[in-house]
Structure formats: C-alpha cells, structure tokens
Amino acid sequence: MAKKKKEEEKKLNLDQILFKCRDILRAARNSGSFFEKRDMMLTLVFLRFIGEKYEDGIESLRQTLVAQGLDPDDENIKSAFFDDATFTDGTYNLSLEARWATIINTPAPKLNVALDTALHSIATESKELKGCFIEGTFSQRNLGANDIKKLVDEVNKISHKAFGEEKDLIGRVYEYFLKEFAVNATKEEGEFYTPHDVVQLIAAMIEPYDGTLYDPCCGSGGMFIQSADLVKSKQGDISRINVYGQEKDAATYRLAKMNLALRGISHNLGETYDSSFTHDLHKGLYFNYIMANPPFNLKGWYDKNLKSDARWADYVTPPEGNANYAWILHILSHLKPKDGVAGFLLANGALNDSDSLTIRQKLIENDKVEAIMVLPRELFITTDISVTLWILNQNKKGGEYHGRQLRNREHEILFMDLRTWTENPVKGESKKKVRLITEQIEKAADIYHIWQCEGTDGSKYEIPELYRSVGIEEIERNEWSLVPSKYIEFVDHDLEIDFPTEMTRIKNEMKEMMAAEKQTHKMLEEAFRGIGYEIN
C-alpha cells in the first residue's frame, strides 16, 4: 500500500511540474503555437534526460576505475578514460556545451543560445541523434530571459531516476501536453498517445519477444518503448527485436527518433516522415509482429493513386471517407505470410461497418481474424470512446509458438468483452479515466492463450458476459458482424429478481418512511404549541 501511494505521489509531482511549465509557456511572449510549445518542452526534457544519463555514466565509470585501483582524478587517467568516454549501455558521450550541468548553470540572458549550441553539438557528433530535433528552436522562439530560465529550472526537477526509469517518460510528457494544449485540435488527426496498460495488453497477447516488430503509425514510439520493457522483463535482451516504424507528422517523427535513441533501441523509421498510405517507406518488407494504434475513423487519407494499390488488390478499395479498413489491409500486407501476428486498436464502428462489409467478410473467410476484444471506455485521456483490440494471425493451423503447442483454430474467432472492467480509476486526472491492472491483463492473455492451445475445445469455450469461441457458420448467420455482444451470452439479471419479495420490501420501506414523517410532524406541532403557536 505504501509503495502504491509513493508511486501515485511521484506521478502527481510530475503533473505538477508539467502544469507549471504549461503556464510558463502560455504566459510567455513568443512561445508560439501548441506544436511549438510542445516541441520546446520535449526538446528540453530530451536534453535533461541525455544529460542525466551522461552524468550517471561518468559516475559509474569513476566507480569502476576506483574498484580497479585507479585514481579517476589523475590527469593521465582523465585523459585516457574521460576526455572521449565510451559507454556500452547506449549512453551518449557529450561535449561540455551539451551537458545539462552546463545548461542549468548558464545565466538566463544566454540560455536560448546555450540550448541551441547544445543541440548543434549533439547533432554534429551523433549520427543516431541527428534529426531528433530542430536546430535553432530556442533562438528562433527567443523566449524572454526570465521565462526560459523558469522553464529550464522546472525541467531540471524531472529526473528519469525519479519518474522514468521503467516507463516511457518522454511519451508521458507528450501525452500531458497533447491533453492540456490541444485535445480538440488533434482528435481529427487521431494523435492519441497509447496508454501503458493498453500497450501491455497488446504485447501480452501477441508476445513480440524476437524477430521484427512494425508500427505503421508509430507516433512518439511508445509501442516500441513499452514492448522493449516487456521483452527485457521476459527475455532480458532487446537486441532480439528489430524495430521498424513510420510516422506522418514531422514533429512526432522527430520525437520518436529521440525517444528510441534515448532508450538505446535500434530502429528504422525510414529516412523521413510520411504517410504510410501514400508513401510506404517499408514497402516489400514483412514482419513477425505488428502493433499499432491507428488514428480512429481517419478522414482525408485517400489519394486517387491508391485506387488499384496492391495492398487491397485481393479485396476491394477501402471506403474513401474512413481509413479503418485501409489500416487493416495495410497491416495485413506487411505480416509475414506464414506466421505473422498483429495486434492493433480500432474504433468499435469497424466491427459492423456496412461500407466495409465486403472486406470484413473476405478477411473472415480468408481466416485472418483470430480475436476481437472490446475494451473498457475511458482508457484514453484524449477520447472516452470504447475501442476494439483486433488480432490478425497468418497461421491458425497450429504448431509451436513461444513454447506452447497450439491447436488448429481455422474458421474460429475468439470474442471477448471487457467493457465491465472499469473498477480501477486513475486518480489526479482532469477527466474520468480507468486503467487495466496487471492481473486483468494477465487474465485476458490467459483466456486467449488457453483458447489457442491443444486440448481446448473451441466449440465449447465460453463464459457468459466475458468471452466465447465462435465458428464461421454462426458469424455468417450474423451477416459477418464482429460485434462481440452478438455472440457472447449476456445474462438478464432482472430475471433473477424475486419480484413479490422485492415489492413487499419496497412497500414496507415506504410505510416506515411515512410513519417517520408523521412522528416528525407530531413533534413539530407539540413544539409550536409549547411556545403559543397553533398549526392549522
């Protein structure tokens, strides 16, 4: 209990720091648009993190030298080990002007120039970090000396040791500013940061422990960061995963590169930012795993050159007014044909959208859909709609998978409905939000994995109001709908009520209330008469 409270306090403190930063930027002259404010904050957090990791690396190096009987303060030792330090854990060596200790001690009037000098130094000396930020950001905005100093002092309080050692903190900061500055402005573009618990759920289901992992709309890279954490906890070696992604927004593309570089995760996000639909940067590549949270119900995705695109040549062209099925077919086109597995989120409308009936029917007939899971409402900060987790699988015939022997699941789909799993509210948010806890994630993954395994009868695998395995014949009778409530049995709890007994109870309660009211009225009459008043 004490540990949980401490974790909540840490989160609250982070929000307090970011709230102050938000107010500083809102009040500051020349702070620019939402996107410019966000980019300034994220760049500052990046400099803070990379600087702190460098300081930790230097301290660790000092301790190693001492343990070996060497004096880290000796000039020859300094020259040999510290002047051009190398690290084996992904920590970047920084020149003097790029270190956070230099930045935090720079006088306020010189801070804008000092920050841009640091960025230029990093971009010049590191090929991996080049392109993660826009050089000249701070001089161009030219915040007042007092404003930039207050901002840097606040960011100085954000320590990855306190807040982000095990989490995607860059993503957390990104989510905060998305929420506070532009919730409505970004909904049309679907710029939603995927919560940690949702990523955990997807990863627990498809288990991306080795091979290649792809996200066609990777945003700030949160899927990769959190999947890497899961791989480390399960397997201990993130080098077993090769990460590929694409992002359309320029600033978010830079953020993803920044985020992955800070974590030491090898990645290929393409040479630039671009649309996965109109310019697929990984065309012709096939991946073991795909995890994605595409923009919900995205409009404006279509281009006339996409009409005969190879990605939907075996189906039909997806509706021009909604990209949901374009995302599905794009994802399918990048899955390894023999054993690729994908887990991704879509708005619930895709489950029974009449405009996409032809595609949905063929996906089911071609045995690409393995599981459909409706999630609770209010998992996201930037939208409160209920969403669906889809799992596509290129191999439902069975065989070994991550140490389990899978049965033949051809022409079966597992439906799950988790909308009632709302008992874990998130405190301290400006709107109602719930989360999935580890035990719930493990339970959902167990339901799915047991259903897959040999020895399970898919024709009788169900628990009312939670999950059910369904054959293709029943889905066809329901006109190819993938809405779980059409297949999962829901108990009418009203039928369990003993109405005669319930009505007697209600009548007795009403009699007691009326008797109490009469007694109160009588007492008031006596009190008024006692002071000489008559009540008519």
Please give the average pLDDT of every successive group of 10 residues along the chain, which has 536 residues.
Answer: 48 76 88 81 88 88 88 83 74 90 96 95 86 87 93 89 62 69 41 78 91 92 80 68 90 84 84 94 96 91 93 95 96 97 96 96 98 92 81 96 94 96 80 88 96 94 95 98 94 56 59 69 68 60
Burial class (CB in 10 A: 0-12, 13-18, 19+), 127: exposed
In this predicted structure, what is the pLDDT of residue 188? 38
| Dihedral, CA of residue 53, residue 55, residue 57 and residue 59, to nearest 10 | -150
DSSP string, 155-186: HTT--IIIIISSS-HHHHHHHHHHHHHHHHHH
Return the exposure string of 337-363: e unless at least 16 CB atoms fall within 10 Å of the residue's CB, then b.
eeebbbbbbbbbebbbbeebeebbeeb
Element (H, E) at 532: none
Cα 17 from Cα 9, distance rounded (Å)? 12
Grouping H, G, I as helix, E, B as strand and the rest as coil, residue 140 is: helix
Cα 246 from Cα 223, distance rounded (Å)? 12
Give backbone dihedrals phi and psi of 464, rounded to 5 degrees, phi first: -55, 140
In this predicted structure, what is the pLDDT of residue 127? 81
In this predicted structure, what is the pLDDT of residue 167? 57
Q: What is the CATH number of domain 2-165?
A: 1.20.1260.30
Among 336, 349, 475, smallest CA distance to 394 is for: 336
211: alpha, beta or left? (left if phi > 0; alpha if psi -120 to 50): left
> Hunting for tokens 């970004």 — which residue is that?
186
First to last CA, the chain: 60
441: Cβ–Cβ under 8 A, 6 or more apart, which residues? Answer: 197, 200, 201, 204
Report domain 189-478's class.
alpha beta
Contacts by residues 298-304 (CB-CB < 8 Å, ≥ 24 positions apart): 298/189, 298/190, 298/322, 298/323, 298/324, 298/327, 299/188, 299/323, 301/275, 301/277, 301/326, 302/277, 302/326, 303/277, 303/278
Cα dist from 429 to 181, 188, 230, 381, whole Å: 15, 22, 26, 8
In this predicted structure, what is the pLDDT of residue 227? 79
